[in-house]
């Protein structure tokens, strides 16, 4: 049972060398009598920015740290091989928390979601039909309550979450601008995801002036994925009664001490509501989200781009790549296709 193991806790930027491949682990492909667990074969693994927090020893994150010497854990799509739990049977497809290994024993199977729609790519359950999809849905609709004609700005706009927020904003009749870190991503934002405008934040000297150029009337809704200097510039450009969905702050995840953010006073003077959230708090809305998103996918009204690497061995580089913007779209690792 090949595994990807965290060698030790990480300071600063994560590197491939912080993880290793363990070829020598074994697993019994039959659960012991009386077990309530589920044994799965992992098919697709998801690389997500929050996993960086789990590589640190610090207890500040909202999820537990990984255990050095043990396989990394994260979201994935898997097939049930053996089940001691009445909700699951051999052959079922599931998504949820699993291990970075070929086979995993899931001791809390009630946290898994059973996959019912299989006429869409299975890997979508690491993205648009899984945790990042729910993040875009809850963070945009529940937190920002968008209205037609509003001005929306999205950072890390071409990623797993951002590409969906932009498309949701268009479906809601908003004007939407996105930022991303390469020309290729900026082109995708405008030509594939339907953003009205997009820019490469790495080429802009003065983000405040950039935002004034794209939003001469100001921003109603900011979907925050990056934090730091971008948040600072956004705060000066928000409109009265603006909403900020504080989803993530990836520019801060590898810093020992976060950047101090200036311009917070605008929150008061413009009556801005800035709200953070953790997607798992909204999982009760998953059935409602599926009712909305499945028809949109089937009717071709929404698209989803994935960046897929083959084989478990590629997972460490893929995970690390999130922090240099190497991924174009949702980063997925294919462990097995069936």
Q: In whole angstroms, how close is the CB of 255 to ligand NDP at the nearest point?
A: 9
Q: In whole angstroms, how close is the CB of 217 to ligand NDP at the nearest point?
A: 25
Which one, of 131, 125, 83, lies nearest residue 105 by Cα? 83
Among 3, 123, 126, 251, binds ligand NDP (CB under 6 A): 251
Which one, of 58, 220, 101, 75, lies nearest residue 152 by Cα? 220
160 touches ligand NDP by CB under 6 A: yes
248 touches ligand NDP by CB under 6 A: yes
> Between residue 267 and residue 326, which ones bind ligand NDP under the rule CB under 6 A?
277-279, 322-323, 325
Distance (Å, whole) CA 46 – CA 75: 5
25 touches ligand NDP by CB under 6 A: no
Among 226, 235, 302, 315, binds ligand NDP (CB under 6 A): 226
Judged by DSSP in three states, 238 sits in strand
The token pair that represents 185 in the structure block: 């991503």
Q: In whole angstroms, how close is the CB of 183 to ligand NDP at the nearest point?
A: 10
132 touches ligand NDP by CB under 6 A: yes
234 touches ligand NDP by CB under 6 A: no
Which one, of 187, 215, 212, lies nearest residue 199 by Cα? 187
Distance (Å, whole) CA 49 – CA 61: 12
Rounded to 5°, the CA angle 213-303-160 comes to: 70
The H-assigned helical ranges of 215-285 are 228-237, 266-269
Size of the site for ligand NDP (CB under 6 A): 29
Question: Which uninterrupted H or E stretch holds 319?
Answer: helix 315-321
Please state whether beta strands 38-46 and 103-106 pair in parallel, antiparallel, or not at all (unpaired).
antiparallel
180 touches ligand NDP by CB under 6 A: yes
Which one, of 254, 251, 249, lies nearest residue 12 by Cα? 254
DSSP single-letter state for residue 71: B
> Between residue 40 and residue 69, which ones bind ligand NDP under the rule CB under 6 A?
48-50
Q: In whole angstroms, how close is the CB of 36 to ligand NDP at the nearest point?
A: 28
Phi first, then psi, for residue 254 (nearest 5°) are -105, 10
Query: Closer CB to ligand NDP, residue 11 or residue 271?
Result: 11
Segment near ligand NDP (CB under 6 A); pick from 74-82, 153-161, 190-198, 255-263:
153-161
Query: Closer CB to ligand NDP, residue 49 or residue 99?
Result: 49
Which one, of 65, 70, 54, lies nearest residue 5 by Cα? 70
Query: Closer CB to ligand NDP, residue 37 or residue 305?
Result: 305
Instruction: Say which residue the tokens 């789990």 belong to.
Output: 54
| Contact pattern for ligand NDP over residues 71 through 110, marking x by CB under 6 A | ----------------------------------------
152 touches ligand NDP by CB under 6 A: no
Binding site for ligand NDP (CB under 6 A): 48-50, 132, 135, 156, 159-162, 180-182, 185, 225-226, 247-251, 277-279, 322-323, 325, 327, 330
């Amino acid at each position: 049972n090949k595994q990807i193991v965290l060698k030790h806790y990480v300071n600063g930027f994560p590197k491939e060398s912080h993880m290793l491949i363990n070829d020598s682990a074994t697993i019994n492909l039959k659960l012991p009598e009386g077990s309530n667990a589920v044994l799965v074969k992992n098919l697709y693994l998801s690389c997500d920015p929050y996993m960086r927090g789990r590589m640190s020893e610090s207890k500040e994150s909202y999820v537990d740290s990984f255990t050095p010497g043990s396989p990394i854990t994260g979201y994935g799509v898997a097939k049930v091989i053996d089940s001691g739990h009445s909700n699951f049977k051999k052959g079922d497809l599931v998504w949820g928390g699993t291990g970075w290994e070929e086979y995993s024993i899931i001791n809390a199977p009630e946290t898994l979601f059973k996959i019912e729609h299989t006429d869409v790519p299975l890997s979508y359950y690491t993205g648009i039909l899984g945790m990042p999809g729910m993040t875009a849905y809850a963070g945009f609709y529940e937190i920002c309550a968008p209205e037609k004609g509003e001005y929306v700005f999205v950072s890390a706009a071409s990623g797993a979450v951002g590409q969906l927020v932009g498309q949701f904003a268009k479906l809601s009749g908003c004007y939407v601008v996105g930022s991303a870190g390469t020309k290729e991503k900026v082109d995708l934002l405008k030509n594939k995801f339907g953003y009205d405008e997009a820019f490469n934040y790495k080429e802009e000297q003065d983000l405040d002036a950039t935002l004034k150029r794209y939003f001469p009337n100001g921003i109603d809704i900011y979907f925050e994925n990056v934090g730091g200097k971008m948040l600072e510039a956004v705060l000066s450009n928000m409109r009265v009664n603006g909403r900020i969905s504080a989803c993530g702050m990836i520019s801060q995840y590898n810093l020992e001490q976060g950047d101090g953010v200036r311009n917070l006073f605008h929150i008061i003077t413009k009556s801005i509501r800035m709200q953070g959230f953790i997607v798992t708090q909204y999982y009760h809305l998953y059935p409602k989200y599926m009712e909305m998103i499945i028809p949109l996918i089937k009717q071709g009204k929404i698209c989803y781009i994935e960046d897929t690497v083959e084989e478990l061995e590629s997972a460490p580089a893929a995970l690390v790549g999130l922090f240099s913007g190497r991924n174009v779209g949702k980063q997925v690792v294919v462990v097995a296709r069936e």
